[in-house]
Amino acid sequence: MRLKMVLFVTLFTGILLSCQGEGANAATAPSPTPITVANVVRLKTLQSITLENFPDETSGTLPISIAFDPRLKRAAGVIDAQTVRIWDLATGKAIIDLKNPPADKPAPDSVEGDLSGALAFSPDGTRLATGLLSYKGYKTILWDVATGHLLTVLNDSAVVQQDPGIPYSVSSVLFTPDSSSVVICERLHDNVTTWLWTIQTRQIVSIGGETDELMSMNQKMLALPTYHLYNAEGTPSDQNTSVQVFDLQPQTMVHEITLETDKQVFALAISPDGSWLAEEDIAGVLVWSVITGQRLASLSDVPDLTNAQNQLVDMTFGPDNRLLFANDNGKLHFWDANSGKTLMVSNSASIDDAALNQDGTQLASLRQKDRNVDLWGIP
């Protein structure tokens, strides 16, 4: 399964200076326009940045895991089992490498484990969480983005490793909107557990029961597919039966959407207002009412999802709660989630990663083979 995580970015505003006679008056540039169902056909590439020292095909490391800074100042990528590289998106320069184990920590504080590929910036862009593949119960490292220093490590020392030959693997991480906690999806064998790690107190609690590695979060809610290892006949299964929606404060389930049939969920997105949920499985992409659990729409022009290469990634709702976009086999595909109608498909191809910013005014996409980040907006 191609695993992506949904990560948000924020725009810069510029200052325009105009001179009148001997004096100068400063005028603020117009606010960026949110990308919506009504105007998405006007979406254009506004800027392109090439990332230096980005892994190439000869290194054998493509594709790599990528996260965008919510303020669009940085991008981060796991370039090997021990290294995360940070790029400046204003210049494209590689500015710092985060190394595990870090050079500034003594041996007793070093971290046993490889980087799993899961990573996420905090909403203010100052910290980065990276998931681990570890035999010792280490789950996630928290880094200072500016200095590259390791801030803290989540290590569940109470873990009893039943099979020392199988590591714990953190497959996805997300910061909560207030940056106080990190949500972690961790796999051991075929068992997946979702944890909420409160950073200041170091408290860790599980959310839900048998969940899958996908998750989607808005300002108040977290959506997780349920998962079971065996079907009703007792034979092995990898199917999802429902999607559970949790209130982040406190961590209680508030809604559950029962899927029409047991299917493996490939992608998930919850709308900003928490009213709609989009879910991709082998049959297509369906839009559900979070409140009633009823199916509302089925998206048009979705590729054959029985082919794993066609599975959609980076699925995200826009700020109007109706626009839905995803990376459709290397192109950006936009739908009206209310009707399921296709609104636009981008001309750009070979896109590996894409993310919509927090206020929905700009979109970033990355083509890893040519190391190019495109910034999209409404001109």
| pLDDT 10s digits, 322-338 | 999 999 878 999 999 99
- Give the structural domain span for 94: 64-207
- The answer on 243 and 137 residing in a single domain is no
Provide the 3-class DSSP secondary structure of residue 66. strand
Q: Is residue 2 part of a domain?
A: yes
Instruction: Over range 64-88, report the average pLDDT.
Output: 91
Query: Could you tell me the two tokens for 350?
Result: 């070979």
Instruction: Over range 62-72, report the average pLDDT.
Output: 85
- The answer on 137 and 41 residing in a single domain is no
**Closest to 50 in 3D by CA, of 91, 85, 107, 83:** 91
Please check the confidence at residue 275 and state whether its pLDDT lies above 90.
Answer: yes
Task: Determine the Cα angle at 292 with ends 314 and 211, to 5°.
Answer: 50
- The answer on 84 and 36 residing in a single domain is no
Sign of the CA dihedral 184, 333, 273, 8?
positive
* Cβ contact 186:193 at 8 Å: yes
**Closest to 60 in 3D by CA, of 81, 86, 84:** 81
Task: Determine the Cα angle at 260 with ends 255 and 266, to 5°.
Answer: 80
- The answer on 69 and 45 residing in a single domain is no
- The answer on 178 and 253 residing in a single domain is no
- Displacement of CA 246 from its chain's centroid (Å): 18
Residue type, 20: Q
**Closest to 339 in 3D by CA, of 72, 37, 69, 16:** 37
Side-by-side strand order, sheet with 323-328: 313-317, 323-328, 331-336, 342-345
**% of the chain exceeding 70 in pLDDT:** 80
Q: Is residue 332 part of a domain?
A: yes
* Cβ contact 137:153 at 8 Å: no
Residue type, 10: T
Distance of alpha carbon 355 from alpha carbon 363, whole angstroms: 6
Q: Is residue 147 part of a domain?
A: yes
Distance of alpha carbon 51 from alpha carbon 69, whole angstroms: 15
Give burial (CB, 10 Å; 0-12/13-18/19+) of 82: middle
- What count of other Cβ atoms lies within 10 Å of the Cβ of residue 370? 12
Q: How many domains does the chain have?
A: 2
Query: Could you tell me the two tokens for 227?
Result: 């998962």
Q: Which residues contact 136 (CB under 8 A, 6 or more apart)?
A: 112, 113, 155, 159
Distance of alpha carbon 379 from alpha carbon 377, whole angstroms: 6
- The answer on 72 and 203 residing in a single domain is yes
Q: How far is CA 34 from CA 12, 122, 359, in A?
A: 14, 22, 7
pLDDT at 191: 76
φ, ψ for residue 102 (rounded to 5)? -75, 145
pLDDT at 102: 62
- The answer on 250 and 359 residing in a single domain is yes
Q: Is residue 324 part of a domain?
A: yes
- The answer on 33 and 72 residing in a single domain is no
**% of the chain exceeding 90 in pLDDT:** 49
pLDDT at 291: 93
Q: Is residue 92 part of a domain?
A: yes
- The answer on 179 and 98 residing in a single domain is yes
The CATH number that applies at residue 105 is: 2.130.10.10
Domain boundary among 207, 226, 251: 207
- The answer on 351 and 243 residing in a single domain is yes
Distance of alpha carbon 355 from alpha carbon 350, whole angstroms: 15
Q: Is residue 225 part of a domain?
A: no
221 vs 235, residue with greater confidence: 221
* Cβ contact 276:287 at 8 Å: yes
Predicted TM-score of the model (pTM): 0.84
The pLDDT tens digits of the residues spanning 95-121 come to 999 987 665 554 444 567 889 999 999
pLDDT at 14: 32
- The answer on 82 and 34 residing in a single domain is no
Task: Determine the Cα angle at 266 with ends 367 and 261, to 5°.
Answer: 160
Compute the residue count for the chain: 379
- The answer on 141 and 41 residing in a single domain is no
Q: Is residue 214 part of a domain?
A: no
Q: Longest C-alpha distance within the chain, in Å? A: 84
Instruction: Over range 137-147, report the average pLDDT.
Output: 89
Q: Is residue 45 part of a domain?
A: yes
Query: Could you tell me the two tokens for 82?
Result: 């021990």
* Cβ contact 3:171 at 8 Å: yes
